Amino acid sequence: MSARTQRVKHRVRLLQLLAAADRAALAPISIDKLHAFAYLADILSPVWNLRPFEDRIGRTGRAPYYPDLQRELDFMVAMGLVLPSDISYVRKEGQPAVLTAHFALPNDSATVKSIRSACGNDAELAAQQTYLNALADALASLPDDDISAAATHDLVYEKSSNESQDFIDLASLSSRTSRAVASFDKAFPGTKLTPARRLVMYAHYLGHRVHA
Amino acid sequence: MLDSDEFGAKLLQDPSFVAGAAEGLAASNVDEDPILSFFDRVRYTTLKSLDKAAAAGAGAVGGAPAILVLSERPQADAKAIDVNAHRLVDIDLKDPADWQGKLVICASHATAGWWIELPEGSVDQALELLNAHGLGHSPLAIVYPAARALSCFQDGGMSDEPPIKLDLPLNSRQVTLNDIFEVLEDVRKNSLLTPMIGPPKFWNDGPAYVPGEEAERQIQWIAAAQLRSNFRPLIVDTEQVTPVGRIDIVMTNTAGTGAAQQYPAIIELKALKSKTHAANKVPDSTNVKAILKGIRQAKAYRETKGANLGVMASFDMRATKTDILNEELCKLAVAKYITDERIAVYNFYVYGDTAHAQDEAAAA
């Protein structure tokens, strides 16, 4: 895939993530929440029978972060396709100050509307949007302050003591996350567990892990 | 690395896995209808908020109602009404004072949205305002915290259709046959009794006793929602599939050990009719057969699930209310299947004509 195509795909993915966040009243969404959403969308994609958007993500010891996605987000802000708000510097102890902001799709952009309309006419993108909408709903049912921390406590992202890999292979279909979601059937036999319901259940499990 | 079985077993022993997933189970539903799903979410979030206030010793909640409107683009819709609309999150975790008296343009999960004050505290003015901004037919729920009640308008505030009425009860109940009976009786009296209070399109022609096409599904949805509220935190699921058939309502206690504790009750629902939705006559033999089938199903499902209680509840939409449970065949079925004190059969009268409901009330 050419670098240009890759960039376009990242931008479309961002539009879809932000559209789902808007629909779930998560927008304007903070940087950490947006990356957490993008990560959980990748690791949970088998629940919806979809492939993850990214192949891998680095384990940095901090919250999930996709540098390529962030770069395209910055470009989209410059292009007027994404609206930033609450721009500020945050300085955590022992770390350099970082620029942070919240992001949303503009309500009145004809360009964004036409791109989203085109996406809606593509079966694959439409399926992805349905999935992202369901996941945004699931995450929004968590306490707002727990959403980004939930991704950090994902069973795959959280590094166990015997793991040395500093990246995660997101395309692995037998991830601990997938197996945990499959285990709901054993925990609640006979209960009707739709894919959307499994997302809410996994999100709330992560919510409990945040406070464990 | 743990293999799949070991990993799964370890997870199932992790209390946070079961508790977290159970919380997610309660916070989600499997309604295929996004509007009914939204109403159930409003019921869940506002009841949780009211429970939180009660647990904090807030006493009776008074004050203004709130309107929660379903929107695909909550921010855009709210800002079109008022550019100064504010974001509201975690409605379920907030004190009711944080959402009372507000018009909230909500996301489908009903825990977050964008709000403005109810204009002059008036529900009517808020509905006019929504209409003026093209949202007059958006599904909405009006929450009355003081009355602990919810009115759900599927076609929006400008529709002439009656709302679906739900309760937000103060206390949760223990699961007994009598409590199940009382909740279903409340469903009958408060949500179904006459066309005036019944859900929209519950009757195609009430006075002629022609039921609506979706009447059974509406009874099931309202009963399930009311059971969820009255027996919280139990999970109340509909249409659960078992090897011997599809159970209308299963109540699950996710903290229960052993089948009888895990499944406190199953409920089989039937609607008795004198006419089909297309106004064709339904012979009473068909209704008797429905009762016989329902009793057999209630017993079979209770045994299959290992549930503690089994209930067969029929909602009687017939024009002429005979004592159908005293029909000879029904009595034989009761003798055959109602063999212990953990199973019961109830029939609830529902009227297509308000005068007939008045007759019942006057005769009481």
For residue B115, count CB atoms less than 10 angstroms from its CB and return exposed for 0-12, middle for 13-18, buried for 19 or more. Answer: buried
Chunked in runs of 10, what are the mean pLDDT values of chain B (364 residues)? 70 88 88 91 96 80 88 95 96 94 96 95 94 95 94 92 92 95 96 92 95 95 96 92 91 84 95 95 93 95 94 96 90 90 95 91 83
* A22 interface with B at CB cutoff 8 Å: yes
The closest CB to that of A137, out of B4, B22, B108, belongs to: B108
Q: What is the largest CA-CA distance in chain B?
A: 72
Chain A residues within 8 A of B255 when measuring between CB atoms: none
Q: Do the Cβ atoms of A116 and A132 come closer than 8 Å?
A: no
pLDDT confidence band for A161 (50 / 70 / 90): low
Find the closest chain A residue to B93 by CA distance.
Answer: A143
Rounded Cα distance between B18 and B9, Å, is: 12
Q: Give the pLDDT of residue A55.
A: 79
Q: In this predicted model, which residue has the larger pLDDT, A14 or A162?
A: A14
Q: How high is the pLDDT of residue A2?
A: 84
Separation of CA B156 from chain center: 19
Taking CB atoms and an 8 Å limit, are B8 and A27 in contact across chains? Answer: no
Indicate yes or no: CB of A205 within 8 angstroms of CB of B113: no
Any chain B CB within 8 A of the CB of A194? yes
Q: Is the pLDDT of residue A180 over 60?
A: yes
- ipTM (interface pTM): 0.89
**Which amino acid is present at B194?**
T
B24 at interface of A, judged by CB pairs closer than 8 A? yes
Res A173: pLDDT: 59
Residue with the bigger pLDDT between B316 and A186: it is B316
Over range A44-67, report the average pLDDT. 85
Residue A170 has pLDDT above 80, yes or no: no
User: How far is A182 from chain B, CA to nearest CA, in Å?
Assistant: 9
**Residues B64, B151, B40, B312: is their CA dihedral positive or negative?**
positive
pLDDT (average), residues A180-195? 87
- Which residues of chain B have a CB within 8 Å of the CB of A116? none
B 229-288: CB under 8 A from A = 235, 237-242, 250, 252, 254
Q: B204 to chain A, minimum CA–CA distance in Å?
A: 31
Residue B279 C-alpha, separation from nearest chain A C-alpha, in angstroms:
34
Q: How far apart are CA A140 and CA B89, in angstroms?
A: 8
pLDDT value at residue A211? 87
Cβ–Cβ below 8 Å for B4 and A174? yes
Strand order in the sheet with A83-90: A29-30, A98-104, A83-90
Identify all chain B residues contacting A205, using CB atoms and an 8 Å cutoff: 16-17, 20-21, 24
Mean pLDDT is lowest, of A48-57, A170-179, B134-143, for A170-179
- How far apart CA B356 and CA B364 sit, in angstroms, is 13
A104 touches chain B (CB under 8 A): yes
How does pLDDT run across A96-118, given as a tens digit for each residue? 787 889 999 998 889 999 998 99
pLDDT at B4: 65
pTM of the model: 0.92
pLDDT at A181: 86
